[in-house]
């Protein structure tokens, strides 16, 4: 990654400073900063693109939960004194984005969800990754994508190392269980900000019907599908994803100024 990671008062984050509007990117449970490289490259000069590193492995074990991560994001936005943000989340990051907008709607200009949890997810099927089984981890990581080649050696190794670190594995399980408990089906009607849903047609973790259900339950939403695409459209189809995102953000800004 060519973007510098800032560290201030317990927060670690990337910030591009390229524009007045803040675009806040929230990664998933196994997410890495590299997941957002395509967005950072495209929007860094026109938006203040901000990527807080979620403290999934740093929070005290009693605070390891989706709620704990939402509180962290809220504290971070307050610390940075952002007036408002466009918030984009992939997978667990989408779940956190939704909980944030439900808690702090006055802080959010728009929401973008891609492969979001919060309604249904099947991250590991019926089993947690087997520690020490590299081939299992490789296959599970590759199944995140339509094209398994998107799962680089570096990404597979990163997931493998997380799973084989006992403390990190405990936190992954605790966070995943917390996410399942925080089902948002009965709360999504409260989301009123403009919402863009970008879904991979072949997503195996949060399948296409999940995107359709989000679209049904969120009033001011728009759903687009990307073909030959799995759980991380911003990684597999960078240009197409960025085009949808740019058009949406431009439209939201134009309406707010009119």
Q: What ranges do the domains of the chain cover?
A: 6-122+182-257
Three-class DSSP category at 226: strand
The SS3 of residue 141 is helix
Q: What residues have CB less than 8 Å from 101, skipping those under 6 apart?
A: 87, 108, 111, 191, 193
The pLDDT of 52-66, averaged and rounded, is: 90
Each residue's pLDDT tens digit, 141-154: 999 999 999 999 99
Taking a C-beta distance cutoff of 8 angstroms, is the pair 239, 247 a contact? Answer: no
Query: Distance between CA atoms of 130 and 136, rounded to whole angstroms?
Result: 7
What is the chain's alpha carbon radius of gyration, rounded to the nearest angstrom?
A: 17
Instruction: Count other C-beta atoms under 10 Å from residue 244's C-beta.
Output: 20
The beta-strand segments (E) located in the chain are 6-8, 11-15, 22-26, 48-52, 85-90, 108-114, 195-200, 221-226
For all residues of the chain together, what is the average pLDDT?
Answer: 92
CATH number of 6-122+182-257: 3.40.50.1820
pLDDT of residue 123: 52
Q: What is the pLDDT of residues 126-177, one digit of tens each?
A: 445 566 789 988 998 999 999 999 999 999 999 899 889 988 888 988 898 8
């Amino acid at each position: 990654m060519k973007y510098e990671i800032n560290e201030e008062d317990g927060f670690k984050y990337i910030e591009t400073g390229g524009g007045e509007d803040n675009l806040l990117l929230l990664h998933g449970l196994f997410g890495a900063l590299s997941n957002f490289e395509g967005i950072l490259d495209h929007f860094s000069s026109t938006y203040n693109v901000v990527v807080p590193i979620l403290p999934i492995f740093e929070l005290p074990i009693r605070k390891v939960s989706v709620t704990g991560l939402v509180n962290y994001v809220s504290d971070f936005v307050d610390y940075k004194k952002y007036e408002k943000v466009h918030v984009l989340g992939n997978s667990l990051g989408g779940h956190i984005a939704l909980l944030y907008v439900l808690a702090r709607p006055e802080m959010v200009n728009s929401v973008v969800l891609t492969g979001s949890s919060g309604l249904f997810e099947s991250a590991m099927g019926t089993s947690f990754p087997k520690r020490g089984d590299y081939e299992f981890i490789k296959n599970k990581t590759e199944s995140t994508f339509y094209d398994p080649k998107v799962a680089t050696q570096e990404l597979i190794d990163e997931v493998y190392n997380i799973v084989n670190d006992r403390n990190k594995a405990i936190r992954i399980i605790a966070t995943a269980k917390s996410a399942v408990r925080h089902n948002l089906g009965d709360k999504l009607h409260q989301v009123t900000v403009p919402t863009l849903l970008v879904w991979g047609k072949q997503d195996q973790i949060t399948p296409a019907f999940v995107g359709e259900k989000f679209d049904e339950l969120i009033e001011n939403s728009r759903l687009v599908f990307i073909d030959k695409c799995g759980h991380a459209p911003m990684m597999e189809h960078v240009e197409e994803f960025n085009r949808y995102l740019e058009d949406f953000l431009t439209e939201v800004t134009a309406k707010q100024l009119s």
